[in-house]
A and B are shown apart, each in its own frame.
Chain A
Amino acid sequence: MQSTAGRLRAHFLLAALLPCALHADDIVTVAVASNFVKTAVEVSAAFTEITAVPVRISPGSTGKLYAQIVNGAPFDLFLSADTERPLLLEQSGHAVNGSRQTYAIGSLVLWSRDERLQGRDCREVLERGDYLWLALANPMTAPYGAAAREFLEKAGLWKMASQRAVFGENIAQTLQFVATGNATLGFVALSQAKDPDLPVATCTWTVPATSDTSLHQQLVLLERARSNAAARQFLEFLGTPAAQEIIVRHGYVVPD
């Protein structure tokens, strides 16, 4: 018994000391916007396999992560869902100047699992207003919501849609509203619609890419990681064909 307890104690000691044993440069901590989390997990697994450098991912909404970074959150990289927050971080000196770049371009999809819409044209359903609730991400807080609103306004559908719109806090919650059958249809990210864990859609329609509806997602290297070689290595890895293949497979377009 004594030896077991002793061994256990040794394990605890080891576990407690492990984070200190790892030099700060030997791990990359990445703050990732919720819509890109699944992709980021796969990309980091590929990265770790090659470099043996572990990656820690902290998911959250872009706005929340931004507020945390400004208040000293210990992140090395920030993969945002928009271009605005990375720019703000660069301007305020929280991010390394010149590190800002687009890593993925997302698209909007009109998506439903309502059985009554089986075989119908999703776009036509939207135009005719044949729905009880239309889900979109909050245009004030979520880039995908802002893009959806932009599209609806240009198509002259916002007036009708806004009367029956429900707003998800982020794009993941928006999908939840539709996937649970509470909203008839909703604007979600193509990357979500491609998720194999999702119930089969009864109708989908990809919103054509324009400057308003394609979502440029940018990243920045954060100030505290200025001299973190592993973080820069991860940044470079995102541009390699291996990483870009994963990003494209998840429904994003990569910048040229």
Chain B
Amino acid sequence: MDELSGMSIFAPLLLSMQLAFVTTVVLILVATPIAWWLSQTPSRFKAVTQAIVAMPIVLPPTVIGFYLLILLGPNGAIGSWWVQMTGTALTFSFSGLVIASCVYSLPFAVQPLQSAFESLPRQTLEFARTQGASKLDAFFAVAVPMSVRGFIGAAVLAFAHTLGEFGVVLMVGGNIPGETRVISIAIYDQVETLNYGAAHQMSLLLLVFAFVVLFGMFVINKRWSMR
């Protein structure tokens, strides 16, 4: 049973942390331009885009996972391209999990950023532009520093949501130790094999870790807003 049970209860937690961290970094990079565009555009495609971005909230994770399994698989649109580019398959790999998690957690990163950008006073941005700042300069010099709470909110939600992810990983991961067996899957395995004791231990570990991270983030957030 050694390959399956995994030597340490920390290994799956570490993997979950890695996945959540990488996903959060990627999501902030992807979600920022989307959220900025949504906050500024008068386009009639705004509502459509918003609805599409929110879709992952509606579909059950195992259903999203099933379609990602098809899409990311070696015969799928994205998966076959990936195989051509890298020579390796996307499903059952850490990279595949990152992509899946980004899809799954996208709305949780976009929405806090969008509301932060929308609440920026228009005059400030306009003033920056009249002082000769380019659009990009104005964004980085004015919008980003003024939206720090939005960024923190987006990061906390994306991180936490990915940490608690189960259904999507279950579907596209393949439960490979050290590669795709994240903490939620490991806990589930212990429950299924009647090892309730080990399940409790792992759950406690996850809860404590999640509490510390979230608490830390909220403390930072509060400090920031008081400045």
Residues of A within 8 A of B (CB): 61, 63-64, 66-67, 88, 132-133, 135, 138-141, 162, 165-169, 173, 176-177, 180-183
Cα-based distance from A175 to B4 in the complex (angstroms): 20
Give the chain B neighbours of A67 by CB distance below 8 A: 191, 194
Does B175 reach chain A (CB closer than 8 Å)?
yes
Give the chain A neighbours of B66 by CB distance below 8 A: 176
Q: Is the CB of A169 within 8 A of B191?
A: no
Q: Is the CB of A133 within 8 A of B174?
A: yes
Query: Which of A139, A140, A141, A166 interacts with B174 by CB under 8 Å?
Result: A166
What 1/0 flags go to B39-80 for Cβ under 8 Å of A? 000000000000000000000000000100110011100000
The closest CB in chain A to the CB of B172 belongs to A182
Give the chain B neighbours of A183 by CB distance below 8 A: 92, 174
Give the chain B neighbours of A132 by CB distance below 8 A: 74, 89
Number of A-B contacts (CB under 8 A): 68
Q: Is the CB of A182 within 8 A of B175?
A: no
Cα-based distance from A67 to B195 in the complex (angstroms): 11
Cα-based distance from A167 to B188 in the complex (angstroms): 13
Residues of B within 8 A of A (CB): 1, 3-5, 66, 69-70, 73-75, 89, 91-92, 170-171, 174-176, 188-189, 191-194
Q: Is the CB of A169 within 8 A of B69?
A: no
Q: Is the CB of B1 within 8 A of A140?
A: yes
Give the chain B neighbours of A141 by CB distance below 8 A: 189, 192-193
The closest CB in chain A to the CB of B185 belongs to A169
Beyond A63-B193, A133-B92: 7 further Cβ-contacts under 8 Å? A133-B89, A138-B4, A138-B189, A165-B176, A166-B176, A180-B69, A183-B174
B79 → chain A, closest Cβ, in Å?
Answer: 8
Q: Is the CB of B194 within 8 A of A176?
A: no
Give the chain A neighbours of B73 by CB distance below 8 A: 180-182
12 contacts between A and B (CB under 8 A): A139-B1, A140-B189, A140-B193, A166-B174, A166-B175, A168-B174, A169-B175, A173-B171, A176-B66, A182-B89, A182-B92, A183-B92
